[in-house]
């Protein structure tokens, strides 16, 4: 009796634990259809993105992107991340010249395209309107003065709307076409505050009193946060150390110090020639640190531009005109390390190598460089003799 009861219980448990075969098959079919639909949707979206990118590349070769293609391409961009758009309007005969000049001055992650008969457009990640204005002003100054044109800039909303992206893109493109900016020349309006950027009162304690960039004691925390953010997103980033060459020599004829005006001019030049999103801070008495988003090759091109701008800058103090140069060392993630201390050490070593080679030099960290190259360099006799 007991054995029959146990056998019956086991059979009942087994019957209750296993669902009917038709139900299992229906569930598997449903899951299979869902997986297949997801795979097909992914393939279609990937194909559309590929076609849009292919059209953009072909448009660059053939001479311009149509309005419809540009709208679809922009929808894909602003859906992923906020975008800054800068339009250089000029006659169609000048499109190729402007396109070539801009393409050689931007980072590889930026996009330069010929936009139909409107002009040449620069598109890059970012939602800072001031940064877009500065990009237009800086690049506009590099273009030939005999090319009449107009520069305008807009940024996409962040976060983007869940629906209605095409109207948003149409609004951005309309603002680029009709921006109330000068009709001739490449000059954009100055930033608020006249010669410099307006600094809110609550931000002033964070800034260095002499140079106006981030204070030295605030730099380590800021650098660590930026590097950590880039590592999480697996985005390359570079650390650039710049130092005014032979700062101790900058004194007037009667011993009047010129150091502070030179440092202020150097800081302003650095801020004007890099992006608003790039960190600029004071590192030492004569040095600055910059955190530049991008790979080593792109950021090295930015560093060359910064050093060239320094060579062309003059500082006038009490009727005397002074010039200065910057030496710079650079290291980047992931090429030379991941942690802030590692990158700082590598860029510091590269800076020492740069200073040993003379004034105004840039060295990108390379572990193969010999330590003997970091020998000390004798300073010049005066800040004007170079």
Sign of the Cα torsion 27, 33, 37, 39 reads positive
DSSP state of 285: S
Question: Which tokens belong to 23?
Answer: 């139900």
For residue range 15-42, list pLDDT tens digits in order.
Answer: 455 556 777 777 788 888 888 888 888 8
Longest dimension (CA), the chain: 119
- Return the DSSP state at 92: G
**pLDDT band of 163, cuts 50, 70, 90:** confident
pLDDT over 80 at 206, yes or no:
no
Condensed to tens digits (0 to 9), the pLDDT of residues 231-289 reads 887 889 999 999 999 887 776 544 457 888 889 899 988 988 887 678 889 988 889 99
Overall residue count recorded for the chain in this entry: 386
Q: What percent of the chain stands above pLDDT 90?
A: 12
- Identify which has the larger pLDDT, 360 or 49: 360
Most confident of 194-198, 313-317, 352-356, 372-376: 352-356
Measured CA to CA in angstroms, residue 287 lies from 264, 284, 324, 372, 386 at distances of 12, 5, 13, 23, 20
Mean pLDDT of 376-384: 51
Highest mean pLDDT among 55-59, 116-120, 168-172: 168-172
Q: What is the pTM of this model?
A: 0.59
Beta bridge partners of 44: none
Query: What 8-state DSSP symbol labels residue 364?
Result: E
Domains of the chain: 63-178 (3.30.70.270), 202-374 (3.30.70.270)
83: three-class secondary structure by DSSP: strand
Q: Are strands 279-282 and 287-293 parallel, antiparallel or unpaired?
A: antiparallel
Answer positive or negative: Cα dihedral of 327, 332, 337, 341. positive
- Measure the CA angle with vertex 279, ends 293 and 292; round to 5°: 20
Cα–Cα distance for residue pair 221/369, rounded to 1 Å: 30
Separation CA 356–CA 150 (nearest Å): 44
Which tokens hold the place of 374? 């970091």
SS3 state at 300: helix
């Amino acid at each position: 009796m007991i054995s029959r009861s146990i056998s019956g219980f086991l059979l009942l448990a087994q019957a209750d634990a296993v669902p009917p075969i038709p139900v299992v098959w229906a569930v598997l079919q449903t899951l299979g259809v869902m997986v297949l639909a997801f795979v097909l949707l992914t393939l279609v979206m990937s194909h559309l993105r590929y076609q849009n990118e292919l059209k953009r590349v072909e448009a660059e070769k053939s001479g311009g992107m149509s309005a419809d293609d540009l709208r679809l391409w922009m929808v894909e961009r602003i859906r992923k991340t906020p975008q800054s758009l800068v339009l250089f309007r000029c006659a169609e005969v000048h499109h190729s010249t402007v396109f070539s000049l801009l393409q050689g001055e931007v980072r590889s992650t930026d996009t330069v395209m010929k936009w139909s008969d409107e002009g040449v457009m620069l598109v890059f990640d970012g939602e800072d309107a001031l940064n877009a204005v500065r990009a237009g002003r800086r690049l506009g100054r590099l273009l030939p003065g005999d090319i009449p044109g107009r520069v305008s800039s807009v940024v996409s909303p962040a976060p983007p709307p869940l629906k209605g992206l095409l109207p948003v893109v149409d609004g951005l493109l309309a603002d680029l076409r009709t921006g109330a900016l000068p009709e001739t020349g490449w000059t954009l309006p100055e930033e608020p505050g006249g010669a410099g950027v307006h600094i809110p009162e609550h931000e002033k304690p964070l800034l260095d009193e002499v140079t106006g960039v981030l204070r030295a004691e605030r730099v380590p925390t800021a650098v660590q946060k930026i590097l950590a953010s880039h590592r999480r997103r697996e985005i390359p980033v570079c650390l650039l150390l710049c130092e005014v060459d032979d700062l101790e020599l900058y004194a007037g004829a009667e011993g009047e110090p010129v150091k502070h005006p030179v440092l202020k001019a150097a800081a302003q030049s650095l801020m004007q020639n890099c992006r608003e999103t790039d960190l600029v801070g004071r590192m030492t008495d004569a040095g600055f640190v910059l955190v530049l988003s991008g790979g080593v090759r792109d950021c090295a091109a930015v560093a060359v531009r910064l050093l060239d701008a320094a060579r062309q800058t003059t500082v006038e103090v009490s009727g005397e005109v002074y010039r200065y140069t910057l030496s710079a060392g650079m290291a980047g993630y992931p090429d030379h390390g991941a942690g802030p201390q590692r990158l700082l050490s590598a860029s510091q070593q590269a800076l020492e190598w740069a200073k040993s080679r003379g004034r105004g030099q840039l060295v990108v960290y390379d572990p193969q460089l010999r330590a003997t190259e970091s020998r000390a360099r004798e300073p010049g006799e005066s800040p004007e003799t170079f």
